[in-house]
Amino acid sequence: MRIHRSKANRRVDRDRRVARRRTLRRTARASIVAVILGGVGVQGLRMADARGWLSPFRVRDVRVVGAGVADPRVLVAEAGLMGRPVSWWSSLGAYTEQVERDPLIASARFERRFPNRLTLVVEERRPIALVELDRLTPVDPVGRVLPVSAFQEGWDAPVFALGWDEDPALAGGRLKPGPVLEAVTWLARVRSEYPALYGEISAIDLERAGTLTLRLVHTEGVIVLDRTTPIEKLALVDDVIRDLREKGVDYLNMDLRFEDQIIVKKG
């Protein structure tokens, strides 16, 4: 019994080695064929290109979607596509990155339309606030200055009025670290966590010490807080305003700077 079992084991091992060698030979042949075909394919494309056979696939039209403020012609020029030997199947990653360098563009992507057209889909940056510098300047949530007029259709952002004379914008097109940038970052959190309240803010007066005075669209009174005021306290503002309205009470000032209380000065 031991002899028969030993012969059977050797036979199984031999069969496995044979099968493994066959698999390796098939893999090697397939790899060689792939390399040959790949080389032929590349050379074939080059020959076809040289003879003009691929000209119908050259990109001839780029349509821009999503540009409301940015100039579509500028975006196409920034991409650098036109005049380049770009085909429908070409990699477009580098051209996308060039578009996204535009300060007005948050993201971009290309969609292909056979045989020779592309659609450039962009998402524009929108201002979180309009800061009163030497002019009314749109600024995005990370402090980037948007290099266009603040008076754009659909741009409805609070106006930041500074209580001191200083230009907080760097030459590189961003706000300097300091009270203005901190206030812009704070306002971005308000828009994210309390969008209804953000939509009610028409203007913000900012003092150098960090005091913020919010002016709302539908109320006469102002809301006062500073950089140490927990943002969660803003969740109470709507309830307080509603309660005052139900009681027929006008207010001049709602102060959130005190811990665990809101002080209301009646009008």
Output the pLDDT for position 20: 67
The ranges of the chain with pLDDT < 70 are 1-13, 15-57, 82-85, 87-89, 166-171
What pairs with residue 4 in β-bridges? none
What is the chain's alpha carbon radius of gyration, rounded to the nearest angstrom? 32
Q: Looking at the domain 55-124, which fold is it?
A: Ubiquitin-like (UB roll) (3.10.20)
Output the pLDDT for position 42: 46
**Any idea where the domains of the chain sit in the sequence?**
1-53, 55-124, 129-266
Pick the closest to residue 136 from 104, 168, 165, 160 (CA basis): 160
What pairs with residue 63 in β-bridges? 119
Give CA–CA dist 10/33, Å, rounded: 35
Encode pLDDT of 152-172 as tens digits. Answer: 988 889 999 998 876 666 667
Domain 129-266 in CATH 3.30.160: no
Encode pLDDT of 84-124 as tens digits. Answer: 667 666 788 999 999 999 999 999 999 988 777 889 999 99
What pairs with residue 68 in β-bridges? none
Output the pLDDT for position 40: 44
Output the pLDDT for position 217: 92
Give CA–CA dist 85/50, Å, rounded: 12
Between the alpha carbon of residue 10 and those of residues 5, 18, 58, 109, the distances in Å are 9, 12, 62, 60
| Tokens 């079992």 -> residue | 5
Task: Give the torsion sign (CA, 139, 232, 223, 250).
Answer: positive
Output the pLDDT for position 18: 64
- The angle, 0 to 180 degrees and rounded to 10, between the axes of the packed helices 72-79 and 93-100 is 130
Predicted TM-score (pTM) of the model is: 0.72
- Residue 248, judged by CB atoms within 10 A of its CB (0-12, 13-18, 19+), counts as exposed
CB 62 within 8 A of CB 76: yes
